[in-house]
Structure formats: structure tokens, C-alpha cells
Structure 1
Amino acid sequence: MSEIKFSPEEKQQIAQKVKLYFREELDQEIGGFEAEFLIDFFATEIGSYFYNRGVYDAQALMALKVDEISGSIFDLEKPTDYQK
């Protein structure tokens, strides 16, 4: 897996959310530099956990959909008369 990177627009939006959280929940003001520093820290240090959770969720959804498709294909089977 490569390093988690955000576009400048995404990073700006995330930084605004971090700044808002600090202001509303922690009663602290932080600047854009500090917010971006935190984003980089979290992306580097714990981003893989969130990424992997997304991969696991995607795998579970894919398995569910494959089961649904298999069932739909099985439903296409035509009855046969093998009784003598």
C-alpha cells in the first residue's frame, strides 16, 4: 500500500474540520499549519487502520454480492425429469 495522500482541496476541507473540532470540543484555536500537521500525523500513523477497515468492508460486501449472484444463477436452472 502506498502512502495515504489527499488532494490540496481534500486536505483543506479536512483541516477545517480539525480546526472546528479543536475550537468546539477542546476550546482551543489552532491554525492551518497545525491542523495539516495533525492530518499528516494521523494519515501516517493510523491511516492504515482506517484503510484496512475499508478493504475488509469491501471484501465482505463483495462476498455477499457474489453469493447473491450465485443464487441468481442457480435460480436460472431448468427442472429436469430424471425419474424413470
Structure 2
Amino acid sequence: MDVKLFALAAALAMVIYAPQTHAKPISLVERCSCRSTVNNIPKGYIRELKFIHTPNCPFQVIAKLKTNKEVCVNPEVRWLKQYLKNALNK
């Protein structure tokens, strides 16, 4: 009986004093940032664009608006394609 009590106390001590990790679970790390995209956002509302390309997700464009809200922009929108083309030509 003493061995079982000792094993239980040791297991509880390990749980209580085990170092905690701050890493995200794999299921959260591999999620794409953009689940839905916006097609018709005026260019004048956009403060900055962020481009994300990861192995698990398609090409993603996140626009930070002047209101500090972030939205995902469809990368197939004509003005965005022209913007990227002009940026690559510079």
C-alpha cells in the first residue's frame, strides 16, 4: 500500500511542478490565416498589405485598414494582381 501511495504522490508532484509550455498546438499552428476573403474593398481604405505564403495554405493577402481592422483580400482581384505585377517590375 505504501508503494501505491508513494507512486500517487510522485505522479501528483510531477503534474504540479512540470514546466508549462507556451507553444501552440499543432492544429492551431497549421491553420491558414485567411478562411474567407473580400473582393470589393476600396484601395483608399488600406493602410498596408501583408503577403503570406506557407506550405499548407495558398497565397494569402491580409490588408490592414485605416481603422486598424485586418481583412483577407482575394489575391485574384484585378487591382491586386496589377499591384503585384508593378511591384515585381520595379
- TM-score for both structures, normalised by structure 2: 0.32
Instruction: Tell which has more relative contact order, 1 or 2 (C-alpha 8 A, sep 6+).
Output: 1
Q: Give the structure with the larger strand fraction.
A: 2
- TM-score for both structures, normalised by structure 1: 0.33
Q: Give the structure with the larger helix fraction.
A: 1
